[in-house]
Chains A and B, each alone.
Chain A
Amino acid sequence: MQIDDKSRETTDTPKRMEMFSSTGLGVPPMPPTAANIKDLGPASDSPTRTSIQAELDARAEGISDEKPISPFRASLRRFARDRRAVISLIIVVFIFVASIIGPFIYEHIGPTIKGGFSSNIVEGPQVYHDPIHQELLRSDQPPTLAYPLGTDRVGRDILARLLAGVNVSVQVAFLVLLFDIGLGLIVGTLAGYYGGLIDTFLARFTDLIFAFPALLFASVAAATLGTEFTDRLGPSGRLILVSLALGITIWPQMARYVRGQTLQLKEQQFIEASRTVGTSDRGIITRHIVPNLFSIVLTAATLDIVGIIIGEATISLLGLGVQPPGSSLGLMISEAAPMIPVAFHEILFPVLTLAIIVLCLSFVGDGIGDAFNPRRKD
C-alpha cells in the first residue's frame, strides 16, 4: 500500500469528515479510540511507523477535544460559511414566502381610491389589490401610493400580479419536484442497483427525452391537452398539466444522477457488509442507499427548480401556460412587451423579479453543490 503525505495531513476531525462526506457516503469508519491505538504496540524504529503513531496520537487528541460531527452537519457548516449562497437563500425564501402569505397582508394595505368608469366608486385596497381587478382609467400608471409598482395596461395592480405570478412558479416548482424526485429516486436506484431491463429502459428513455426539445414537448402537451385538463380538474388543471409535462422532461436527468451514485455506493464495503449479515435488497436500498443519496438529490433538485421556474415562465410567455386573466411571470412579460415604449415599468418588475429568483437560486445551487460535494469539479 502506498501512503502519501496528503492523506496523512488530513487528520483533524472536520477535515476528515469532509473527506468522507465528499464521497457522499456519510459513513465514516469507526474513529480510532484509545484502546485500538494501544493495540499497535510500542513504536518501532522505522520512520513510517513512528509517523503513524504520531498521527494516531494527534487524531486521538483531536477526537477527545470535540465531538465528531456528522457529515451532514459538516456540509451545513460549509454551506453557512458561503455568504453569497446564504444571502441568496434568504432572498429566495423571502420572495417565496411573500408570494404565499403576501396577498393576505397586501389586501389591507393602501388608501381608498375612487374607481370605476366615472371615478365615483369608493374602493378599498381589498378591491384594487386583487390581481385580476381592472381599473381602466388608471392603466399604465407609474408607481403611486395606491399602486406601489404601478398598474399594467388594463389597470391591474402590478405588485398583486407579481405575487400571484411567483405563487404560480412556486406551485409548479413544488409539483414538478415531487414528480422529479419521486420518479428519479425510484427508477434511478432500481436501475443502478439491479441494472438489467430497467436500466436499459432508463437509458433509452433518457435518449428519447434529450432528443425531444423539452420546451416543444411541454408546449405541445399544454396546447393539445390544456382544455381537457381545465375541463376535468378546474382552473388549476392547466397548471397541473404544465407541471406534468415539465416533470416528464426533467426526471431522467435526476434518475441518471441517482443511478450513477447508486452504482458507486453498491460497491462500497458497508453495503457488502450489510449483505453479508443477510439484509434484504429492499432493506439495503431503503436503509443504506437512499439516505446516502441525499446530497446529490438536494444539489440536483436546487438546480432543477431554476429550470422549472424558467420553463413555466417560457410556456406562459408563449401563451400556452397560464391563461389570462391569471397571472404568471412569463405571461406578465409577454403582456407588457408591447408597452415598453409607453410604460417600461410594466415589464421591468416581472423581469427583475424573475432575474433575482433565477440568480439567487443558481447561487444557492452552486453553494449546495460546493458544500455537499466538495470534490465535485465544475
Chain B
Amino acid sequence: MTAVPPNGTTPLARREARLAWGLLAPTLTSVALVVVLPLLAIFWISFKPIGLADLRPPAPILRESVLGAGEDLRVEYRLRNSSQDKQVTGVILSDILPEGVALRGDLPAVCTLQGRDLSCDIGTLEGGYNERIIIPLAAEDADRTEALAEASLPNVTGKSDSILTNTTFTLDNFARIFNGAEFWGVLGVTLFYTVFGTVGALGVGLFAALLLNKSFRGQGILRGLYLFPYVAPIIAVAFSWLILFDPFSGSANALLVQMGVTEGAINFFGDRPLALIMVTVFEIWRYFPLSFLFILARMQSIDSDMYEAADMDGASPFQKFWYLSLPQLLGILSVLFLLRFIWTFNKFDDIFLLTGGNAGTRTLTVNVYEQAFAVSNIGAGAAVAVVIFLCLLSFSVFFFKFMSREEGL
C-alpha cells in the first residue's frame, strides 16, 4: 500500500490555525473595539439629529440637605431635571436613614420606609421641573445626625430617552452637508491640497534622493537633517511656520520687504488663494522626507551593472536618468503616490493648526471638526466623516488592485 498525502484539514493544520487565531486575538479585539466599533457608530450617528448638547442624556439631579433642629428637624431632597425640555421617567430615590434617628410624623405619599431603607417613587419628571421631598425626623443628637445624613449618599435613578439610542433617524445631516456650493468648494480644496501636496512631495523627495544618492562624508548627517520636518512634532513645526510667516512680526515678511519684493506685509495664512497654497507648501515641506527616504532606498538597490553598460554605450547623465533610473523607480513612485494620496486626503492636524480651516482652506477632514464642534452639530460632522470613509474605501479598492501587481514595496 502506498502512502497517500492527507487531504482536507489535518489535526496538525487545525492546531496551527487555532494557535494563529489565538495569537491574533488581542490585536483583533483591540482593533474591533477602537476602530470597527467607532466606524459603525459614525454611520449610526450620521443618521441622527444630534448636537453637541445632546451628548449628556437628561438625568435627575439630586441635592440633599438637613434643615432645622430639635422639633423642626427634617431632611430635604431637591430633585431637578438636567434637561429643559425632555422628560425623565421612572425616577426612584433611595437613601439610608442614619442610626439614632426616627421618623417624626408621616412620610410623604410617594415614599416607603423599610427598616432604615428609604425609597421614594417620584415617577415622571418633566423637562425643567423641580421636585421637593421633605422627611421630618426626630434625633437624639442633632449634630451627629447631620454628619450621618451627609455620610450616606442618596441614590437616584431615572430613565430618559437618549437621542443616541432611540430609533429616530433622519437624512437631514446628509442633506445639509451636500446642500449648496459649500460642499463642492470643500471638495475642490481637498482635491487641490491632496493632488498638489502628493505630487509636490514626490517631486521634491525625488530631487533630494538624487542629491544624496552618492557616498560622501557627511551624507549621513545630511540625511538625518533632511528628515527633521517629518520627525519633529507637528504642533512645533506648524507654530514655527506661523511665527515665521506672521503678517505683523514675521521674519519672512520682514525679509521680503527688505529685499524689495513686496511693499506691505503679506498675510500668508489669511488671504484666500495664498493660504491654500501655503498649506500645500507646508504639506510638501513636511512630507518630502518620507518619499525621499523610500526613493533613496530603492535607488540604492538598483544594480550598477546597468549604468556601467550605459556608460560604455555613451549614454549621457540625463539619458541614464530618463531611460534607466526612472523606469526602475516607477514602481515605488506609484505606490508612494497612492499611499501619500490617501494619507494627504486624510490629513487633519496640519491645516487645523495652520489656518483652522479659514481663508478657503477647509478640507473634508477639517469640515468634520468644523461641523461637529464649531457648529455643534455632531450629526453633520458624522455625515462628513461617512463621506470621507466612502472615498477612502474606493481609493483602497484601487490601491489593492494596484498593490497586488506592485508588491515589493
Q: Do A and B bind each other?
A: no
A interface residue numbers (CB < 8 A to B) = none
